[in-house]
Structures are given as structure tokens and as C-alpha cells.
Amino acid sequence: MIGISVAAKKEWEAVLDKFNINIESCETFPFGEYFKINLYGEDVMFYRCGVRKMNCSASTQYMIDHFNLSKIIVVGTCAGIDDKYKNLDIFFPNKLVQYDCTVKETEPLIKDSFTITIDMSNYSNVNTGTLGTADKPVVMWKDYLELKENNITIADTESSAIAYVCKANNVECVVIKGISDFPTNENESTKEYSHEEQLNVFLTNIPIIMNIIIDNYLEFAIKNHFNYSEYKLEEVSINR
């Protein structure tokens, strides 16, 4: 069975609306809800894994253990970092990193040991790039600039942790993310107003992105196979 992982409540609501499913008809597990359907000739299970790395990691392991998933497809929204792109652009990231696992004052922001790579070399018709994951969403302008300086393309709070758990279990994983918003410079207004402005754009774009992914990219992700790339670990030295 293929698992389709959805993190945020609003993303989950958009999925339920898309398939005309009532929340009351879903099954439950410790971290959220799930439902099973046959899609493009495959048995798939959509489930809400919950937001942030703790919830999504635990949910991923639970679903692998209880439903013997052969593949997990992560679908949802993300913040844009690379300004070559725009809101509603869709990505299949080929590099997933957790950037909140280092002492960034003395170490590189990204450690190889928290990096997963997925081979997308055969799929030139989709946007790829580096997805950065941390428990803290990218809202503050200084955080945005830091990720941009470190060549992060898009950012979220779940995907890289899910891929890390999937690889540890030898379960295939692919991520489909759409840019819902970009951080705005709070120095041009106030932190509160800037955050609210970004949040409103995010909420507006959630159902649009979920529909785009389901209508245009989910069949591709279900029917194709995605392998982990070889990634050479490098020793991280402390800056002196």
C-alpha cells in the first residue's frame, strides 16, 4: 500500500473536500485521521501526520509499522526561499535537509548526516531543488536570508524528517510541495503585520496548491519509482 502524508489541518481539509469525504467517516490513529481509496489502480491511504518534526516522524513510523507501506508520498505546502520561483510553483525536491540540527554559531547550518537525497535525474519535467526542514517555520526575514545564503530552495516543517524515517526503514519516499508564500521583510512594517500578511497568503493558497498537486502530479508520483541517491558523508569541522 502507498501512504500519502498530509501535515497541516487546512491541507487535510482540502484533501477531504477534494474527495468528498467527511471527517466523521475517517479512521483515526494516535496522531490524526486516515482513509483508504483505490487511486490510479493502486491502493492508497491518505493520512494526516500532524505538523512539525516530532508528529510527522512518529506518524511515519506508526504507518510503516501498522500498514506495511511500500512508498510514502508527502504532499503539501512550503515557504519559498529561492526568489527565482513564485507562489504556486510545484517541486519534487531531490535534496532534503534538516537545518536546525547544528550549533550554527560554530558549525555549518546543514550537516550531511541530516541530509537525504532522492534521484530525480530521470524526471527533467519537474522542478527540483533543496528543501530545508525545521520545527520553526520561516517567518522572520533574517531566517529567510540565512536559508537563501545556504542555497535552500523551499522550506517546511516536516518533509526532511519524514524522508529520514522512510530511508531508515528502506521505504520509498517522494515529496511534492507547492510554494504557498514567501516571507516578507518585517523591517518595512512590523513583525506582527508582516507575519499576518504572510499567514493570509498561506491560508488562501493552501486549497489551490492541494488541488494542483492532486490533479496534476499525484498520478505521476504513484506510478513512478523514486530511489535514494548515494550521498557521501563529509566530516563537519568546528569553525575557529
- Indicate the average pLDDT of the chain: 93
- 93-106 pLDDT, tens digit per residue, is 999 999 999 888 89
Q: Which residue type, as a one-letter code, is found at position 126?
A: V
Instruction: Spell out the domain ranges in the chain.
Output: 2-223
Residue with C-alpha cell 510554494? 179
Closest among 144, 126, 122 to 198, alpha carbons compared: 144
Has residue 235 got a pLDDT over 60? no
Average pLDDT over residues 217-228: 97
**pLDDT (0 to 100) of residue 238:** 52
pLDDT tens, 186-210?
Answer: 777 777 767 788 888 889 999 999 9
Q: What is the DSSP string of 13-55?
A: HHHHHHTT--GGGSEEETTEEEEEEEETTEEEEEEE--SHHHH
Residue 9: name the closest of 30, 23, 27, 20 by CA.
23
Return the minimum-mean-pLDDT range out of 97-106, 155-164, 213-222.
97-106
The whole model's pTM is what? 0.93
Report how far Cα 133 is from the mean position of its chain's Cα atoms.
8
- Residue-level pLDDT at 123: 94
pLDDT at 204: 95
Q: pLDDT tens digit string along 136-154?
A: 999 989 999 999 999 999 9
For residue 43, is pLDDT > 80? yes
Q: Identify the residue with better confidence: 201 or 164.
A: 164
Per-residue model confidence (pLDDT) at position 233: 57
Q: At 240, is the pLDDT very low, low, confident or very high (cuts 50, 70, 90)? A: very low
At 165-176, the pLDDT tens digits run 999 999 999 999
3-class secondary-structure state, position 234: coil
Contact 79, 155 (CB under 8 A): yes
Q: Which residue has the higher pLDDT, 229 or 216?
A: 216
Domain 2-223 has CATH 2.40.160.60: no
